[in-house]
Amino acid sequence: MTMQIKGVQMAGLPAKTVRDMLRRLNIYSLMDTLFVAARCKVSTHKAKEVIKTLADGGYIEFDHRGRELLNSYRPGVEKPRYREVDYYKLTDKGIELRNASAATKMPRTKADQIIVALLKRVEEANAMDFAYRIPTVIVYGSYVRGEPFLSDVDIAVGLEGKWDSDEERDRREKERIKFAFASGRTFSKFIDQLSWPKYEVQRYLKARTRGLSVHGLDDFISMQKDKNFAYRVLRGDADRVAAQLGEAVR
């Protein structure tokens, strides 16, 4: 079930502001104080408060301490200067917050339209020059339970590489990253650049659709599930998905 944050405050900020900051991360990215300050448009002092609130709440966890070269360093004029940096990563609970909804609930007829449009984009994406195709699409949560009003349509997608060899994989992924740079995209972390070929597919499927939440298949398989858990395979091998879910529960 999608987390609801409408009207919620976190560290004195609207939870939506914090959520939008987390959406600039993927599951492989790391965050620090400067990242939070820039994305939430707050002081570094406030950013530290946000990080403490997220860490205390179990949304992020400490990853490691590193050093970064100060932006003010002038090569050839002074010795390199560094700052100590604490890096944090998202937990499963943090991923839930990143995917949380602050929207007013939609009628089921609107959710039906969202799914129809999504499946059309899946067909489009599979025919495009992305490095990955989408063989598996799953809807889960309140939509499958038949609720008349929904906060979000939760979708999980499985990705499969469009290659037959490691060399072809490297070529395709490098082409997508090169295309991203040519289109004006920048990456704050090297890992974001490496994960871009997968992320761009999910981004295309999302298409900035309000009320649509797109998740990776691995996140769906490993997520905590309660007694109300329900899902439906819209595209792909339903028996294989059931087997994966069964293995995750063991």
Q: What is the pLDDT of residues 172-207, one digit of tens each?
A: 999 999 999 999 999 888 888 999 999 999 999 999
* 106-249: CATH architecture: 2-Layer Sandwich (3.30)
- Token look-up 């050093």 returns 67
pLDDT of residue 80: 73
Q: Where are the alpha helices (DSSP H) in 41-144?
A: 44-56, 92-98, 108-127
Contacting residues for 6 by C-beta, under 8 A, at least 6 apart? 16, 101, 102, 103, 104
- Strand-pairing partners, residue 94, are none
The domain 9-98 having CATH identifier 1.10.274.10: the answer here is: no
Return the domain boundaries, the chain. Answer: 9-98, 106-249
Q: Provide the CB-side half-sphere exposure for 6 (13 A, CA).
A: 9
Would you tell me how many other CB atoms lie within 10 Å of the CB of residue 186? 8
**3 neighbors 142 (Cβ within 8 angstroms):** no
Summarize pLDDT for 132-182 with one digit per residue, the tens.
999 999 999 999 999 998 888 999 999 999 999 999 999 999 999 999 999
Higher pLDDT, 103 or 186: 186
Confidence band (pLDDT; 50, 70, 90) for 6?
confident
Phi, psi (deg, nearest 5) at residue 216: -75, 155
Query: Could you tell me the pTM of the whole model?
Result: 0.64
